Structure 1
Amino acid sequence: MYHHGKPNNLKMELLASLSIIGYILSTLSIKNMLMQFNQKFTQTLFCIVLLLSIILTSIYTYDLASSHSMQINFAIALLVTSLILNYLFFLFMFTKPIKHLGVILFPLTIGAILLTLFFNFEKEQIKIDNSLILHIVVSIVSYGFLGLAAIQAILLKHQEYKLKNIQNSSLNNVLPSIEKMEKVMFELIILGFILLTLSLLSGSPFVILDGNQNLLQKITFSIIAWVTYSYLLFKKFSSGVRGRQATNLALGGMMFLFIAYLGTKIFFT
C-alpha cells in the first residue's frame, strides 16, 4: 500500500486508518444530528470524535510531509487542504449553522487520506522556499474558507433543484432555510476573499523576482478566481444576486482556485 521511502509504515497506516474511521463516525453522527436523533449525546460524541480525527490526521499529515523533507506534491497538498477545511469547520460549527457541510467534507477528507496511501511519492516534488511560508499559510486558509463556501454552494444547488421540481428530499428537510444557507455562503466567501487578496499581494513579488513558470501559472489562475469572486461580491452588494447565478459563480471561483493550487502540475506538465 505504501510506496518505498515512507518510514514506519505500520504507524502511518494506523494513523490513516483511525482517521478514516473517525471521519466515518463523524459523518454518521452528523446524519443523526440532522435527523434530530438523541441530539445532546450525539453532539457530544460528534465533537469528541471529530476533534480526535483532526488531531490524528494532523499527526499523519505532519509525519507524511516530514518523511519527504517538507516537499509538496498533489496528494500532500490535497490532504493539507482537507485538514485546513476540517479545522475551520470545527472552529465555526459552534457559532454558525454549518454542521451539514460535514456530510460532504468528511467523505472528501477520507478520499484525500486514501489518495496518500496509493500515491506514487517517487514523482517530482516541490521544495518549499522558507520566504514563501507566510504566503502559503494565508493562501491555504483562504482556500479553506472558499472551499467550505463551495460545499455550501453545492448543497444550495441541490436544495434549490428539489424545491423547483417540487421533489421531497430527506436532505432538504434537515438543511437550514435557503436564506440562511446563502447568508453563510457569502460570509465564508467574504472571509476567503479578503485572505485571497492578501495571498495575491504577498505572492506576486516572488513571481516577478523569480520568474518561476509554475508560480506564474498559479498566480494567473488565482487572479482569475479573484476576479470571479470580486464580480460575485459586486453583484451581491449592488443588485442582491442570489440563487443559481450566485452558486455558479462561487463554484466557478473555486474551480479556478483548484487549478491554481492543485491542478497546474496536472494540466500543465
Structure 2
Amino acid sequence: MVFSGFFALSASLLYVFASLLIWQKIKLFDRVNLRAQRKKIIVFAVIAAILHVVTLSSTIWHPDQYFAFNLSNTLSLITLLAAIILLGLNRQYQAETLGIFIFPVAALTTMLPIGFPEYTPLPLEIGSHVFISIAAYSLLGLATAQAILYSIQEKRFHNRQLSNLMRALPPLQIMEELMFKLLIIGFVFLSFSLLSGAFFVEDIFAQHLVHKTFFAVIAWILYGVLLTGRFQYGWRGQKAVKYTIWAYGLLVVSFVGTELVLQCLLDMP
C-alpha cells in the first residue's frame, strides 16, 4: 500500500506538471518553443500514465484472480484510458493541448483508489465486460471534450475572436476529423459493451441494472443517429456537437449516477 501511494502521488504530480506545461504553452503561444514544449508535455504525461498503470493495477487486480472494482478505481481507469488514447493519437494529430482537460482530472482520480479501498469482486468474464464498457466511456468522453473545444473554436473563428487556447488547438478540419474518429471507435466499444452485458444479466430488475441499461441504450441510439446522419446526410458542426454532448450526458447518468444512487443512497452492493 505504501508503494501504491507513492506511485499514485508521483503520477498525480506528473499529470499536474504536464497540465501546467500545457497552460504555459497556451498562455505564451506566440513566445514559446512549441516543439520543445510539446516534447516536455509528452514526456511528463507518458511517465505519469506508466505510474498510473502501476498504482491502478495494484488496486484493481486481486491475487486470487478476480477484479476488484469500485467507483474510485473505475473513475481512475476511465481517465487513465483517456490519457493513453490521447497520447496515442498525439503522434498523428498533435492534440496534446486536449490534455488540459484530461490530465488534471487524471491527477485527481489517480489518488482516489488509495483513499477508498472497499471494492466489489468481479470474476474475469464480467470484469472483461466492465473493461470494454470503461474503454467506451473513455473514448466517448474524449470525443465529448473534443466536441466542446471544436464548438468553441468554430464560434470564435467565425467571430474572429481566437484566443491563445483556440490557436493552440489543431485546425478545425482536424478537430472535426478527430472527433468523429473517436465517436466511431467509441460507438463500436459501446455496442460490444451492451452485447456482452446481455450475457451476464440474469434479472435486470433484481440486479438493479434497469436504470443503467435504459440510459446506456438511449445514448447508443443517439450515437447511432449521429453517425448515420454524418455518413448519410453529412451532418457536422454544431449539430454534431449537440448530439455528442447529449449522448455522453446520458452515459454519465447511466454509470456514475446509478453507482452513486446504489452505493451511497440505497446502500446496495
TM-score calculated relative to the size of structure 1: 0.84
CA offset digits 1:212-250 (Å, max 9, x no partner) = 533343322221110110111122122222222211211
TM-score calculated relative to the size of structure 2: 0.84
The CA distance in 1 between the partners of 2:206 and 2:174, in whole Å, is 43
Aligned residue number for residue 46 of structure 1: 41
CA offset digits 1:170-192 (Å, max 9, x no partner) = 21122222222111101110111
SS in 2 for 1:162: helix
Write out the 4+ residue segments of structure 1 that deviate beyond 6 Å after TM superposition.
Answer: none
SS in 2 for 1:93: helix
Q: Partner amino acid for 1:261? A: F
Paired residues for 1:48-197 under 5 Å: 48-66=43-61, 70-116=67-113, 118-119=115-116, 121-122=117-118, 125-163=119-157, 166-197=160-191
Percent identity between the two aligned chains: 28
Q: Contact between 1:204 and 1:219, CA under 8 Å: does it hold in 2?
A: no
From 4, 13, 18, the counterpart of 2:5 = 13
Mean Cα displacement is larger for which, 14-23 or 153-162? 153-162
Residues 203 and 267 of structure 1: CA distance in aligned 2, closer, same or farther (over 3 Å) = same
Structure 1: 5+ residue runs without aligned partners?
1-6
Query: What's the offset of the Cα at 1:167?
Result: 3.2
The CA distance in 2 between the partners of 1:203 and 1:185, in whole Å, is 26
Mean Cα displacement is larger for which, 211-220 or 153-162? 211-220
Structure 2: 5+ residue runs without aligned partners?
none
